Structure 1
Amino acid sequence: MKIFRFLPIAFAIVLGLSSCGDENSAIGSSIVDTNIEIVVDSSFQELITVESVPNDSVVGRTITQLIGRISIPGYGRLETDFLTQFMPAANFDTVGVNKLDSLILYLSYNTESFTGDSLAPMQLSVYPLDKRLESPVYSGIDPAEYYNAQAAPVALTSYNASFLGLPDSLIELGYKMIRVKLPDEMADRFYQKYKEDPTVFSSPSRFTQYFPGFYVKTSYGSGCVVNVQNTVMNLHYTKTTVINDKDSTYNSTQTLMAVTPEITTGNHIKLEIDAEIKNEISSGKVYLQAPAGLNVLIHFPTRKIIETFEDAVGGSGSASTVQGLVNSLTLRIPVKTVSSNYNLDPPQFLLFIRKSELQEFFEKKKLPDNVNTFYAKYDSDAHVYNFTGLRTFINNIIEKKRTGTEITDADEEIVLVPVSVYSETVSSGGSYYYYSYNEKEVVTDVVPYISAPSLALVDVDNIKLRLTYSKQDMK
Structure 2
Amino acid sequence: MKVKSIFATISCFIALALASCDDDLNAVGGSIQPPADTISVTTDTVGVKARTVSMKDSVYARTINGVLGKYEDDLFGTIKSDYLCQYFFPEGDKFLGTKQAIDSVQFVIDFNTFTGDTLAPMGLSVYKVVNDLPRNFYTNTDPTKYIGSSPKLLASEAYTISGAQKTANDANTAIIGRSITADLGIPFGQEIFDAWKNKTFTDNASFNKFFKGTYVTTNFGSGSLIRVLYTNIHIYYKYTDVLGNYDNTKDTIRVSRFTLTVTPEVMQLNSIKNKNPEELFTEGTDATYLKTPAGVYTEVVFPIKQIKANIASKHSKTINTALFTIKGFTERESTAKYELGRPTKLLLINKDSVDIFFSGRQLTTNNKTAILGSRDANNIYTFSNIASLINIYKDMDLAEDPTFAIIPVEIGMAAQIDPSTGSTVYVQTGVFNYLQPSTSIIRNDEKNMRLELIYTKF
Scaled to the shorter chain, the TM-score interval is 0.7 to 0.9
- 1:95 and 1:134 map into 2 onto residues whose CA distance is 37
Are the aligned partners of 2:124 and 2:158 in contact in 1 as well (CA < 8 Å)?
A: yes
| Structure 1 portions without partners, runs of 5+ | 1-17, 315-323, 431-435
CA shift, 1:459, in A, is 0.6
Residue correspondences, number: 422
Are the aligned partners of 1:102 and 1:237 in contact in 2 as well (CA < 8 Å)?
A: yes
2:443 is matched with 459
- 2:67 and 2:389 map into 1 onto residues whose CA distance is 35
Q: What is the 5 A alignment of 1:4-83? A: 20-21=7-8, 32-33=18-19, 35-42=38-45, 44=46, 46=47, 48-55=48-55, 56-83=57-84
Q: Point out the more displaced range, 168-177 or 129-138.
A: 168-177
Structure 2 counterpart of 1:421, from 411, 415, 429? 411
- 2:167 and 2:210 map into 1 onto residues whose CA distance is 39
CA shift, 1:28, in A, is 13
1:13 is matched with none
The code of the aligned residue for 1:108 comes to: D
| Pair 89,20 (structure 1): closer, same or farther in 2 beyond 3 Å | closer
The code of the aligned residue for 1:457 comes to: I
CA shift, 1:224, in A, is 0.9
| Pair 370,165 (structure 1): closer, same or farther in 2 beyond 3 Å | closer
CA shift, 1:275, in A, is 5.2
- 1:378 and 1:422 map into 2 onto residues whose CA distance is 17
Are the aligned partners of 1:127 and 1:154 in contact in 2 as well (CA < 8 Å)?
A: yes
CA shift, 1:292, in A, is 0.9
| Pair 20,372 (structure 1): closer, same or farther in 2 beyond 3 Å | closer
1:389 is matched with 385
| Pair 97,370 (structure 1): closer, same or farther in 2 beyond 3 Å | same
- 1:372 and 1:57 map into 2 onto residues whose CA distance is 22
Structure 2 counterpart of 1:184, from 186, 190, 201? 186
Are the aligned partners of 1:126 and 1:154 in contact in 2 as well (CA < 8 Å)?
A: yes
Are the aligned partners of 2:49 and 2:449 in contact in 1 as well (CA < 8 Å)?
A: no
- 1:424 and 1:308 map into 2 onto residues whose CA distance is 43
Q: Percent sequence identity over matched residues?
A: 26
1:54-79 CA-to-partner distances (Å, cap 9, x unmatched) read 11211111121111112121121111
2:29 is matched with none
1:450 is matched with 435
- 1:60 and 1:285 map into 2 onto residues whose CA distance is 28
What is the aligned-residue RMSD (CA, Å)? 2.8
1:371 is matched with 368
Q: What is the 5 A alignment of 1:242-257? A: 242-243=244-245, 244=247, 245-255=249-259, 257=260
Are the aligned partners of 1:163 and 1:171 in contact in 2 as well (CA < 8 Å)?
A: no
| Pair 335,310 (structure 1): closer, same or farther in 2 beyond 3 Å | same
Structure 1 counterpart of 2:287, from 285, 288, 292? 285
CA shift, 1:171, in A, is 8.2
Name the TM-score, length of structure 2 as normaliser: 0.84
Are the aligned partners of 1:306 and 1:394 in contact in 2 as well (CA < 8 Å)?
A: no
- Ranges of 4+ aligned residues in structure 1 off by more than 6 Å: 167-171
| Structure 2 portions without partners, runs of 5+ | 23-37
- 1:393 and 1:237 map into 2 onto residues whose CA distance is 58
1:355 is matched with 351
| Pair 298,120 (structure 1): closer, same or farther in 2 beyond 3 Å | same
Aligned partner of residue 356 in structure 1, secondary structure:
helix
1:321-349 CA-to-partner distances (Å, cap 9, x unmatched) read xxx43321110110124122222222121
CA shift, 1:144, in A, is 2.3
Aligned partner of residue 87 in structure 1, secondary structure:
coil
The code of the aligned residue for 1:376 comes to: G
CA shift, 1:302, in A, is 2.1
The answer on 1:213 being equivalent to 2:204 is no
1:189-214 CA-to-partner distances (Å, cap 9, x unmatched) read 1111111125x24133x332222111
1:308 is matched with 310
| Pair 30,138 (structure 1): closer, same or farther in 2 beyond 3 Å | same
Aligned partner of residue 8 in structure 2, secondary structure:
coil
CA shift, 1:304, in A, is 2.5
Are the aligned partners of 2:52 and 2:280 in contact in 1 as well (CA < 8 Å)?
A: no
1:407 is matched with 398
Aligned partner of residue 217 in structure 2, secondary structure:
strand
1:343 is matched with 339
1:156 is matched with 156
Are the aligned partners of 1:29 and 1:39 in contact in 2 as well (CA < 8 Å)?
A: no
| Pair 470,97 (structure 1): closer, same or farther in 2 beyond 3 Å | farther
Are the aligned partners of 1:104 and 1:182 in contact in 2 as well (CA < 8 Å)?
A: yes
Name the TM-score, length of structure 1 as normaliser: 0.82
Aligned partner of residue 130 in structure 2, secondary structure:
coil
| Pair 304,275 (structure 1): closer, same or farther in 2 beyond 3 Å | closer
1:36-71 CA-to-partner distances (Å, cap 9, x unmatched) read 2222212x1x2x110000112111111211111121
| Pair 215,239 (structure 1): closer, same or farther in 2 beyond 3 Å | same
